[in-house]
A and B are shown apart, each in its own frame.
Chain A
């Protein structure tokens, strides 16, 4: 990143414990070098002797009746071992994260473009593909449901007749998955007092997680009649919970092992090829591998919910928010996935990190014939943040007030109440992070002129087009370019909410190997690139005072670690590792007391004894014994569960309740340069300030913040899955679904705050999602600032900036 301002890491963050490589140190990722050099083994690299290749036949129609399926020609192809349709499913036929509404293979009807209809196993991927092409499916197209009007209007086709899920009783139409209002205070009275009112309608396009490693896994039938699945996923145990009934196997016969994961961002929360590979492996008695190509991957996972949002804010003349109302309509697509939870997040976080006493809010998710939408980094909070931050800028403009000052004037702080009535009971430095991003030095103007030598890539002498909108495409040498600055701040929950029993399990063993004490950590945590394996080793070193830590592969032989999502893993599985280590430490110290009671008075004095640098030490640091001597041949082994404090469901009418575990906050200042004639944007800098409670690994913390920031930038200016009104996906490839390249990625100076949350392990706060929220509205605010346009939709396209739709 040319011209990057130095990222600020408080010096305290770089000081570790006595034991090297503990928490607070930037220990390096074990997989980092392998990934950069191309040697890391991803799930797509899995291989087994005699394995078959699976292939999926998918619906070309968004909504159609299946009249007939004829697999006879496919079965005749030499090399084909099995062809399966819905009729061949051995047990439970549907799955889903919360609502089991999605068929493993479509029965009688397809509800989205790309829905799986049949699967094939053959001895070569090309043979499997050809066989799938020979399956004859007779479809009768049905009218598609594609938006709120067509979903809930008179005569709308009901996509899931006979719903019996627990949201069905309270929704106003069967094509609404879930609806959650929040009502608090007296909006009508506040409205009467408001000096200024701003209203806006906003739209967020369908973003894709765009992970680089496509869906892949290998299912191996076992001699005991069970199945071993090697898989890239986000949550091994919830995959197993859904798979076992579909396979007709008891849970202990379905064993999952995490394979190399090439990114996730929410897209691996739902099943993709898991059940298909297992079913084919059971049917053929042979290992079956399925790997999607990029095209299929776009149909193989859920996306971020597109949203339409209507907001109204009223304020007094001095800029104090008096009330807000909003209605957030999320397009959940054909199946529920995690839509209900996304609804809960969107509405409960829909007022943003602001104090506002009177609210009337509503969010709902629709069933449509568009691609299914579910989890993606930011999870409902992203859509809301784009809208409420646009509203704050409008309000500031209306009041003639500085947009940062308006935000600070209404910023929540510790002790503030959420619209749900929940008290924010840990630090909430909203005004402070805004102050910090505003105070950062501005990037120099006209960097295309000042850069290194003359005549860099692509232009006239003295112009570096890489620093200009359009970049290497050489569209401007400065003509039409206007700078803009914008600010945004967001609020995200951490962990699973609304009464979910959210827990993680860790098993920690301490023993002597080669004369040294070694800790072995075993969890089912899915390492999807977030750095959990690094953090677990750091925690074990800090808690057990050993330098040697080995992290076992994640599998279902140990209890659930919950999902690698909701910014929760360092908090939750990190918390479980900490808890297990503490139990192990206690046993080790007790062992020492038993063995060495007579050697030193401190062993029996009852004072706290610690493990540091491979030794047992007193609170004053006096060494009592080598840990290896204490342990001898003993092996200490503990498996424990860790739970965050309980939350509760939101009231279905008022939305009141202790819904969330923890909140996290990030603020951005975006500096952009817009070619106002061509509508092209160069984001020059995206400064971020975020409170992380405690940076367990500062380097990874910065990485998360910069990654989330970049993903938010993508939504702001380029990333969108285009779906036509008939429900067909128009750009399922990286040729036309664009994600930022390094030339689109600005300098991202990061200011990390560490204000401990007393409820959380080490005081830490989940990091990964908050920066994804505020990045998008900050960039769009900056573009508005440069162009004076309203821009109520993301991603912003050149057509929007040049009025050439």
Chain B
């Protein structure tokens, strides 16, 4: 196995063009597991750790341009106001050691249906900046996941950054695991309120071949909020609305039975998480309407987690 260590981004792109089979590695929290389990023996590993810009982020007016290799720990500690949903999801990834190494770029590259960062990217609104020696393009995250562990990248492309919309309203993330930490998602759920556009986004992980947005649930809830004038009044959500939203999220799932959980449980749990997380974000919105961005997770103390 060849170990390629480009020092600069251009070198990395050149190496990827020369060796389209090369597997990019940064934290190694996915790739090394596959290698250790002998599930994967790539001809080349492309180590991105020396490419410093991949470990940096920029916070702009509208979005955060997150370098592909920025570890989860940085997101938890430094970006929880801008990206509260993603920060909550980052918190549920593995152990502290894994969170120090793993990154959103790696999660997208692996494109596992259980990737924890995927639902909050879908609800926040994000684009994956993919680049090759041929040029650069932005792939809306909705179009990025093409199948189980498959994504829209071409063989010669690398993920450079992920452009994620800064939160304009409360966001939440929940996931089911059969222990209380360090667990792969049985299923996951994220919801984000976008008061500026008076819309809601909801996304589900690990309950279908790819992470997906529950569009019918989003549309239903958006219409219900509009109809009842709740964006302006900040009134309580009618229980029937919450229930219908949860039911639509659940119905959008296409899960399987596997060692981690049954399909029936996944469908059920997505409904419960949808109901609860919607309640949390809506309460947050009502409590701090106008200034609510990221309040849900704004105070969380990542450094204190076990």
Chain A interface (Cβ < 8 Å from any Cβ of B):
129, 293-295, 453-461, 466, 469-477, 479-480, 677-680, 682, 717-718, 722, 730-731, 733, 735-736, 738, 740-744, 797-799, 802, 804-805
Q: Report the nearest B residue to A734, measured CB to CB.
A: B182
Nearest-CB distance from A106 to chain B (Å)?
21
Q: Is A743 a contact of B262 with CB atoms below 8 Å?
A: no
Q: Which 9 A-B pairs have the closest CB atoms?
A: A471-B180, A455-B299, A804-B265, A804-B264, A743-B181, A457-B305, A743-B180, A473-B175, A731-B259
- Number of residue pairs spanning A and B whose beta carbons lie under 8 angstroms apart: 146
Residues 195-253 of B at the A interface (beta carbon under 8 Å) = none
Is B162 in the interface zone, CB < 8 Å from A? no
Cα distance, A736 to B260, chains bound together (Å)? 7
Contact residue among B37, B172, B176, B284 (Cβ-Cβ distance under 8 Å from A798): B176
Q: Is B265 a contact of A473 with CB atoms below 8 Å?
A: no
Q: Report the nearest B residue to A295, measured CB to CB.
A: B37
Q: What are 11 contact pairs spanning A and B, CB under 8 A? A: A295-B37, A453-B301, A466-B305, A472-B180, A474-B174, A475-B175, A475-B276, A722-B259, A799-B261, A799-B264, A804-B262
Chain A residues with CB under 8 A of B283: 460
Cα distance, A294 to B33, chains bound together (Å)? 11
Nearest-CB distance from A471 to chain B (Å)?
3
Cα distance, A474 to B300, chains bound together (Å)? 12
Contact residue among B172, B267, B300 (Cβ-Cβ distance under 8 Å from A457): B300
Cα distance, A207 to B266, chains bound together (Å)? 24
Contact residue among B38, B179, B261, B302 (Cβ-Cβ distance under 8 Å from A741): B179
Is B72 in the interface zone, CB < 8 Å from A? no
Contact residue among B182, B265, B304 (Cβ-Cβ distance under 8 Å from A679): B265
Is B153 in the interface zone, CB < 8 Å from A? no
Chain A residues with CB under 8 A of B298: 455
Q: Is B176 a contact of A473 with CB atoms below 8 Å?
A: yes
Is B269 in the interface zone, CB < 8 Å from A? yes
Contact residue among B186, B262, B265, B300 (Cβ-Cβ distance under 8 Å from A458): B300
Nearest-CB distance from A725 to chain B (Å)?
14
Chain B residues with CB under 8 A of A738: 178-179, 183
Chain A residues with CB under 8 A of B260: 736
Contact residue among B33, B36, B37, B177 (Cβ-Cβ distance under 8 Å from A473): B177
Nearest-CB distance from B40 to chain A (Å)?
14
Cα distance, A743 to B180, chains bound together (Å)? 6
Q: Is B301 a contact of A456 with CB atoms below 8 Å?
A: yes
Known: A466-B305, A740-B179. Contact between A805 and B91, CB under 8 A? no
Nearest-CB distance from B236 to chain A (Å)?
16
Nearest-CB distance from A206 to chain B (Å)?
13
Contact residue among A293, A294, A741, A798 (Cβ-Cβ distance under 8 Å from B265): A798
Chain B interface (Cβ < 8 Å from any Cβ of A):
33, 36-38, 88, 91-92, 95, 172-186, 259-262, 264-265, 267-269, 272-273, 276, 279-280, 283-284, 295-302, 304-306
Q: Report the nearest A residue to B1, measured CB to CB.
A: A126
A contact face: mostly helix, strand, loop, or mixed: loop
Chain B residues with CB under 8 A of A731: 259
Q: Is B36 a contact of A677 with CB atoms below 8 Å?
A: no
Cα distance, A731 to B299, chains bound together (Å)? 37
Q: Report the nearest B residue to A738, measured CB to CB.
A: B179
Chain B residues with CB under 8 A of A294: 36
Known: A474-B92, A474-B174. Contact between A798 and B269, CB under 8 A? yes
Q: Report the nearest B residue to A2, measured CB to CB.
A: B306
Q: Report the nearest B residue to A459, measured CB to CB.
A: B300
Q: Report the nearest A residue to B277, measured CB to CB.
A: A474
Known: A295-B37, A742-B306, A804-B268. Contact between A473 and B180, CB under 8 A? yes
Chain A residues with CB under 8 A of B296: 459-460
Q: Is A741 a contact of B264 with CB atoms below 8 Å?
A: no
Chain A residues with CB under 8 A of B265: 679, 798-799, 802, 804-805
Chain A residues with CB under 8 A of B184: 735-736
Nearest-CB distance from B257 to chain A (Å)?
9
Max chain B C-beta neighbours (<10 A), residue from A295, A473, A799: A473
Q: Is B179 a contact of A460 with CB atoms below 8 Å?
A: no
Cα distance, A187 to B234, chains bound together (Å)? 70
Q: Is A744 a contact of B180 with CB atoms below 8 Å?
A: yes
Chain B residues with CB under 8 A of A456: 300-301, 304
Chain B residues with CB under 8 A of A744: 179-181
Max chain A C-beta neighbours (<10 A), residue from B38, B179, B180: B180
Q: Is B264 a contact of A470 with CB atoms below 8 Å?
A: no
Chain A residues with CB under 8 A of B178: 680, 717-718, 738, 797-798
Chain B residues with CB under 8 A of A733: 37
Max chain A C-beta neighbours (<10 A), residue from B172, B267, B272: B272
Chain B residues with CB under 8 A of A677: 272
Chain A residues with CB under 8 A of B267: 804
Q: Report the nearest B residue to A737, measured CB to CB.
A: B259
Chain A residues with CB under 8 A of B176: 470, 473, 475, 678, 680, 798
Cα distance, A189 to B150, chains bound together (Å)? 68
Q: Is A293 a contact of B174 with CB atoms below 8 Å?
A: no
Nearest-CB distance from B258 to chain A (Å)?
8
